[in-house]
């Protein structure tokens, strides 16, 4: 009961944040022109990304009660999402190939002949349903981890670049220490200490992933603090906090957006690697790939499980990378200057 209420609350916050972002973009000529340019450059990638986000939202909104549209009998006290209710009633006893009418091994008839577009896995779960469920986990891993890592990197990077001195020494020591450790081993150690929950994986990925953007924000702040408009604000008696929030941070926002998009795909791939090692998040595409790797040695080969999860993972990362490259071209002042 509590978990689905929290999930619904997170969805409402995300929708409110999206609406606020759209409202702010429409009011700003700079961001409006940037979005129009992005739409013309990578329209298909934006549409594909929107489909993934829509599927993830449909799997995030859950409520108790009501019947499953798929026909399974469920507990009246079990919270089920829209995806669960539409595609959840499709359990079989064992493997079946895509659009098959009989089991892959044994040839026995299916409860839903021809109804599994991507077949079923070893315990009879619909692969298309599992693939759709993985979108929510992927966006949660990429989005939530980025929302933890980027503010952390901004806090340390801007503080070190603007104030310098001992603060810069401490931040640089932290960055050097983390950069000198094997990232994968540190990630595994953190997850084993905090547990294998989704939140623990997100925190561990954020702790090991903020260093790169911290270097970028520190270097950019070192340059910005010496510019004329910052010196003028300081001469007029503007407080350090106001300089940071009104002059330094807004000039880093294009880097924040680009980093968020590019970091997203790397985090999703990192979770897939963790799932391959057996410490990933339940329900992710990486876990599906891990569970399906032994099926490639069967005779005949059960190929549709790994094909579906791999194609979904590939499609999301490719679309996000295309959007990230276009954002870099649109928002990077040097690129815009070169095009002119």
Whether residue 83 lies inside any domain: the answer is yes
Whether residue 75 lies inside any domain: the answer is yes
pLDDT value of position 8:
62
> Dihedral angle at the C-alpha atoms of 244, 245, 251, 257, nearest 10 degrees?
120
Whether residue 239 lies inside any domain: the answer is yes
Q: pLDDT by residue (tens digit) across 179-203?
A: 888 878 888 888 888 877 788 888 8
pLDDT value of position 1:
45
pLDDT value of position 311:
93
pLDDT value of position 218:
92
Please give the tally of structural domains in the chain. Answer: 1
pLDDT value of position 178:
86
Beta bridge partners, 80, equal 63
Whether residue 328 lies inside any domain: the answer is yes
- Relative to beta strand 79-81, strand 62-64 is antiparallel
Which phi and psi (to 5°) does residue 97 adopt? -75, 165
- Domain CATH code at residue 26: 1.10.3720.10
Whether residue 98 lies inside any domain: the answer is no
Residues of the chain with pLDDT under 70: 1-11, 14, 25, 65-78, 88-89, 332-340
Show the domain range for 16.
Answer: 2-89+126-339
6, 201, 220, 224 from 11: Cα distances, Å = 9, 20, 33, 36
Whether residue 155 lies inside any domain: the answer is yes
Residue with the two structure tokens 């980093």:
259
pLDDT value of position 2:
47
Residues 113, 311, 197: CA angle, nearest 5 degrees: 95
Whether residue 111 lies inside any domain: the answer is no
Whether residue 100 lies inside any domain: the answer is no
Beta bridge partners, 280, equal none
Q: pLDDT by residue (tens digit) across 105-120?
A: 777 888 878 778 888 8
């Amino acid at each position: 009961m509590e978990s689905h209420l929290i999930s619904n609350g997170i969805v409402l916050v995300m929708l409110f944040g999206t609406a606020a972002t759209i409202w702010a973009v429409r009011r700003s000529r700079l961001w409006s022109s940037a979005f129009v340019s992005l739409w013309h450059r990578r329209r298909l990638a934006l549409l594909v990304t929107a489909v993934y986000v829509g599927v993830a939202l449909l799997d995030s909104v859950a409520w108790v009660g009501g019947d499953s549209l798929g026909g399974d009998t469920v507990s009246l006290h079990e919270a089920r999402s829209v995806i669960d209710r539409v595609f959840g009633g499709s359990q079989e006893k064992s493997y079946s190939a895509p659009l098959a009418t009989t089991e892959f091994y044994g040839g026995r008839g299916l409860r839903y002949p021809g109804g599994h577009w991507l077949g079923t896995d070893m315990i009879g779960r619909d692969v298309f349903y599992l693939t759709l469920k993985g979108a929510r986990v992927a966006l949660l891993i990429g989005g939530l981890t980025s929302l933890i890592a980027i503010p952390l990197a901004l806090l340390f990077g801007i503080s070190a670049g603007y104030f310098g001195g001992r603060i810069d020494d401490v931040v640089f020591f932290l960055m050097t220490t983390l950069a000198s450790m094997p990232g994968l081993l540190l990630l595994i150690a953190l997850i084993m200490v905090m547990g294998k929950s989704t939140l623990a994986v997100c925190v561990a990925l954020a702790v090991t992933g903020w260093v790169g953007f911290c270097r970028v924000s520190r270097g950019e702040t070192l340059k910005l603090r010496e510019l004329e408009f910052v010196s003028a604000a300081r001469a007029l008696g503007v407080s350090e906090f106001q300089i940071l929030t009104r002059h330094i941070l807004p000039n880093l926002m294009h880097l924040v957006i680009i980093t968020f998009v590019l970091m997203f795909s790397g985090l999703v791939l990192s979770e897939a690697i963790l799932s391959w090692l057996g410490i990933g998040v339940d329900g992710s595409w990486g876990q599906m790939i891990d569970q399906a790797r032994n099926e490639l040695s069967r005779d005949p080969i059960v190929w549709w499980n790994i094909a579906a999860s791999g194609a979904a993972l590939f499609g999301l990362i490719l679309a996000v990378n295309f959007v990230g490259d276009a954002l870099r071209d649109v928002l990077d002042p040097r690129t815009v200057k070169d095009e002119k």
